[in-house]
């Protein structure tokens, strides 16, 4: 969405374009120029901003140096000083501190880069603005000569016409420079704002608060494994912990204290943040505790890692989510996490986003055990085929619930859900783990997508996925008996995907066809979702375009 400054200047430029095709008098041009000159110049001091950028860069270097010192300590001094459980606990704490310092360095570096870009953009914008104002003032001064030429009837008309044309061209060019200055300044400011909104979600240990939680404990829990506890999970867990009775707090504390690793302890806090009761968390821990010192087992069974997949390349399984190293279960037509042959993309996408933030329910999918054990396969069968079977059962259960919310009396797995069912899925599956309500946002226009982008980036950085509805067509190719003339059928579809990851200039999108895909923020704003294309069970999706997004508050 263009700013009010840009809109005002564009109106003036449009008026000048119209005037240049007509007989115009100098006074009319002066009025238009005065309106353009009344638009404020880009405010701010690039030198001051650059100095703050340099300050952040210095702090990033200091954090890096502190990390080097801690690394040396953990590698030499500490093992020589302590033994046994005390040494192991200290090493875990040091490892977490190293991760935290790495995050501090990253945050300051992001601040440095953001302000550096802003200062350079602002300096360039002010140069453009000054140049444009000089041109407008020159054009304004030239109107005095045009007035005199109008009064001198003997003045040659061709010379006056040429002077009028050059004056108008000068005014137009000045107006264009002012528009460019506004765009440059606002582009730099928006870039910095977006970076700082994302970085603001990085400090996590300070969010884990409650009676009996000291800073080192919080740091160890949060930073031992950066993939476990999101900012949203920490905030939710802290609220749940604060509401516990003293007896329940002690009971939960005993579970955490008995964990075999910081990862196991973090998953217990994650379960608390997902809204589970203490009894459910205890049952959950009985299943995972024997594997508490096995980070690979925990990661495989408790987190689908939606935001860590590589980009799909369309040629093989690269980018498709894997389970135990496999993207497809033996004999399956569809990838393990895919929605399969059904029209339940909303349920499949939302369910996977839920599982990515709820280790208790993910355990129920991978093993059939725990308080959220799901059917569809034998209990304790954690094979790829069993996981896929449980997922399909869960997708369809949630899909039927969405259709029921829509008022559909007879569920149909081939038919999608409507807006009411979609909202119901978000309220029941995602809001409990994110602590946020979801707001429908129109994404059909570039201005709508540009406005939604920083909100989506900030939400995703906090661990709150953002669903997007896409419209497009699916192309099915079938044989007609003549291999030279296959039958091609195009069918209009709506398809839901979910933004699950973000970097400075890219968004990672999970497609319930079983893979993740990166797109640039520039393509996002332009509505170019052509990368979200795949062959899916014999059909080929054509370019898909965004219609709406559900943005967490």
- Digit-coded pLDDT (tens) for 39-55: 999 999 999 999 999 99
pLDDT at residue 158, as a whole number:
63
Mean pLDDT of the chain: 85
Task: Give the range among 224-228, 269-273, 437-441 with minimum mean pLDDT.
Answer: 224-228
Please check the confidence at residue 63 and state whether its pLDDT lies above 70: yes
The more confidently predicted of residues 10 and 202 is 10
225 CB-near residues (< 8 Å, 6+ apart): 262, 263, 266, 295
pLDDT at residue 317, as a whole number:
34
The three-class DSSP label of residue 493 is strand
Hey, which residues does 519 pair with through a beta bridge?
Answer: 507
Architecture in CATH for domain 1-200: Up-down Bundle (1.20)
Please check the confidence at residue 284 and state whether its pLDDT lies above 70: yes
With 0-12 CB in 10 A as exposed, 13-18 as middle and 19+ as buried, what is 197? middle
pLDDT at residue 465, as a whole number:
94
User: pTM of the predicted model, to two decimals?
Assistant: 0.76
Please check the confidence at residue 396 and state whether its pLDDT lies above 50: yes
Angle at alpha carbon of residue 51, lines to 48 and 52, rounded to 5°: 90
What average pLDDT score do residues 461-471 get?
91
Q: What whole-number distance in Å separates Cα of residue 290 and Cα of residue 283?
A: 13
Q: Taking the CA of residue 243 as centre, how many other CA atoms within 13 Å lie in the half-sphere pointing to its CB?
A: 11
pLDDT in tens, 104-141: 999 999 999 999 999 999 999 999 999 999 999 999 98
Q: What whole-number distance in Å separates Cα of residue 251 and Cα of residue 268?
A: 12
């Amino acid at each position: 969405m263009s700013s009010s400054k840009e809109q005002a200047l564009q109106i003036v430029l449009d008026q000048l374009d119209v005037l240049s095709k007509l007989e115009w008098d100098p006074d009319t041009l002066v009025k238009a120029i005065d309106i353009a000159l009344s638009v404020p110049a880009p405010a701010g001091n690039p030198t001051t901003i650059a100095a703050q950028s340099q300050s952040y860069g210095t702090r990033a270097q200091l954090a890096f140096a502190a990390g080097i010192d801690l690394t040396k300590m953990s590698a030499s001094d500490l093992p020589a000083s302590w033994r046994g459980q005390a040494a192991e606990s200290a090493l875990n704490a040091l490892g977490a501190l190293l991760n935290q310092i790495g995050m501090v360095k990253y945050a300051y570096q992001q601040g440095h880069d953001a302000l550096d870009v802003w200062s350079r953009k602002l300096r360039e914008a002010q140069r453009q603005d000054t140049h444009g104002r000089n041109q407008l003032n020159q054009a304004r001064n030239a109107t005095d000569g045009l007035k005199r030429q109008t009064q001198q009837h003997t003045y040659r008309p061709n010379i006056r016409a040429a002077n009028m044309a050059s004056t108008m061209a000068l005014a137009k060019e000045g107006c264009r420079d002012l528009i460019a200055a506004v765009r440059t300044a606002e582009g730099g400011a928006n870039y910095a704002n977006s970076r700082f909104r994302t970085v603001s979600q990085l400090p996590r240990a300070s969010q884990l608060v409650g009676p009996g939680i000291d800073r080192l404990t919080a740091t160890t829990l949060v930073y031992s494994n950066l993939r476990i506890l999101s900012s949203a999970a920490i905030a939710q867990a802290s609220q749940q912990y604060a509401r516990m009775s003293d007896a329940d707090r002690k009971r939960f504390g005993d579970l955490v204290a008995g964990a075999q690793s910081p990862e196991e302890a973090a998953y217990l806090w994650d379960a608390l943040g997902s809204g589970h009761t203490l009894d459910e968390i205890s049952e959950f821990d009985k299943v995972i505790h024997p594997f508490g010192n096995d980070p690979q087992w925990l990661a495989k069974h408790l987190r689908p890692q939606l935001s860590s997949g590589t980009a799909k390349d369309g040629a093989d399984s690269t980018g498709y989510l894997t389970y135990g190293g496999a993207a497809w279960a033996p004999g399956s037509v569809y990838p393990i996490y895919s929605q399969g042959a059904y029209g339940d993309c909303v349920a499949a996408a939302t369910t996977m986003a839920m599982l990515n933030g709820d280790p208790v329910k993910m355990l129920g999918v991978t093993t059939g055990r725990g308080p959220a054990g799901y059917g569809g396969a034998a209990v304790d069968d954690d094979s790829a085929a069993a996981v896929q079977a449980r997922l399909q059962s869960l997708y369809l259960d949630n899909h039927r619930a969405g259709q029921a919310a829509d008022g559909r009396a007879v569920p149909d797995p081939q038919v999608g859900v409507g807006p009411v069912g979609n909202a119901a899925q978000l309220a029941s599956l995602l809001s409990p783990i994110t602590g946020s309500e979801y707001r429908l946002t129109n994404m059909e226009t570039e201005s709508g997508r540009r406005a939604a982008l920083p909100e989506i980036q900030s939400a995703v950085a906090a661990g709150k996925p953002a669903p997007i509805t896409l419209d497009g067509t699916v192309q099915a190719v079938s044989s007609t008996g003549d291999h030279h003339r296959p039958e091609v059928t195009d069918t209009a579809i709506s398809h839901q995907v979910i933004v699950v990851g973000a970097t400075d200039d890219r968004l990672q999108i999970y497609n319930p066809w079983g893979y993740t895909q990166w797109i640039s923020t520039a393509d996002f704003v332009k509505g170019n979702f052509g990368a979200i294309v795949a062959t899916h069970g014999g059909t080929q999706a054509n370019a898909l375009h965004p219609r709406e997004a559900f943005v967490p508050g």
